[in-house]
Amino acid sequence: MSIEKFTLEKVLSVHRWTNTLFSFTMTRPAHFKFTAGQFARIGLKVGDDLVVRAYSVVSSPFDETLEFFSIVVPDGAFTSNLQHLKVGDELYLEKIPYGYLTLARYQLPLPQDLWLLGTGTGLAPFLSILQDFETWQKYSKIQLVYSVRTQSELAYVERIQEIAETFGEGHTGFKFIPIITRDPSAQLHERLPVLIANGELEKVAELDFNADTSHIMLCGNPEMVEDTKEALKARGLKMNRRGEGNIAVENYW
């Protein structure tokens, strides 16, 4: 891969949520413009090779820095090295963003209800989308559904509240719904597809999935995305194609 496609950026902070989950911020070059929900391609040198992976941007499009949310993949060529990041380290950033998990893709139905369904680090693009004032202006109801395995993996909870208060000031239709799949005492603890099929997610959200009003975004591990997509289609929701339809997914995994 041509090194000329990248700029060299500096790590500004590292936050470790668990032994396998961490976030980091880095410098943002002035030319790097992105739409909320898009992803960047980040590289690091492993020996003589430049290893590159895609990461959804956590940051608001208006932030002066870039933030990312990562999981450590055991023996992974990239994250096994990335997990040792420290302030001052350098990373390569491809000069252009990618991806179509953005609100601009929706033309019909018109914006009313927004469902953001994520597992693990799939939360990242939704944090960016929620840090765009236009999101709060467009949608009267916003459901952020975040599924993790354990309580300790429930990252960004305080930040989500801060985002809602800052960007959604005066908005009364936002609801954050955590799912903890390995905690039987949690209000919701089954997989997303099950909670959609049995109606429990809608019950907690106090909102129904509706083919005429719902925009639904999915981001997370491929199995979750596929199973959840099928569960939604079984409920009469349609994939978004050429601007029309309910369901949008991220396919960079």
- Tens digit of pLDDT for each residue in 139-178? 999 999 999 999 999 999 999 999 999 999 999 999 999 9
Cβ(40)–Cβ(93) below 8 Å = yes
215 and 107 assigned to the same domain = yes
Domain boundary among 31, 65, 94: 94
Domain boundary among 50, 70, 94: 94
Cβ(213)–Cβ(139) below 8 Å = no
User: What CATH number should be reported for the domain holding residue 10?
Assistant: 2.40.30.10
pLDDT, mean of residues 5-9: 96
DSSP state letters, 149-179: SSGGG-TTHHHHHHHHHHHTTT---EEEEEE
Among the listed residues 105, 112, 102, the one whose alpha carbon sits nearest the alpha carbon of residue 137: 112
Domain count, the chain: 2
145 and 241 assigned to the same domain = yes
**pLDDT value of position 46:** 83
Cβ(116)–Cβ(143) below 8 Å = yes
The yes-or-no verdict on residue 253 having pLDDT over 60 is no
82 and 64 assigned to the same domain = yes
120 and 227 assigned to the same domain = yes
Domain residues for the domain of 75 are 3-94
At 201, is the pLDDT very low, low, confident or very high (cuts 50, 70, 90)? very high
The yes-or-no verdict on residue 237 having pLDDT over 60 is yes
Among the listed residues 178, 65, 200, the one whose alpha carbon sits nearest the alpha carbon of residue 123: 178
**pLDDT value of position 74:** 79
The tens digit of pLDDT for each residue in 106-138 reads 999 999 999 999 999 999 999 999 999 999 999
Quick one: DSSP state of residue 249? Answer: E
Domain boundary among 56, 76, 94: 94
Quick one: DSSP state of residue 119? Answer: E
pTM, whole model, 2 decimals?
0.95
**What is the H or E stretch that residue 23 is in?**
strand 21-27
Give CA–CA dist 188/180, Å, rounded: 7
User: What CATH number should be reported for the domain holding residue 217?
Assistant: 3.40.50.80
Give the 3-state secondary structure of residue 240.
Answer: coil
The mean predicted confidence, pLDDT, of the chain is 94
Query: Is beta strand 247-249 parallel, antiparallel or unpaired with respect to 214-219?
Result: parallel
pLDDT, mean of residues 27-55: 94
Give CA–CA dist 205/148, Å, rounded: 18
242 and 160 assigned to the same domain = yes
150 and 245 assigned to the same domain = yes
240 and 140 assigned to the same domain = yes
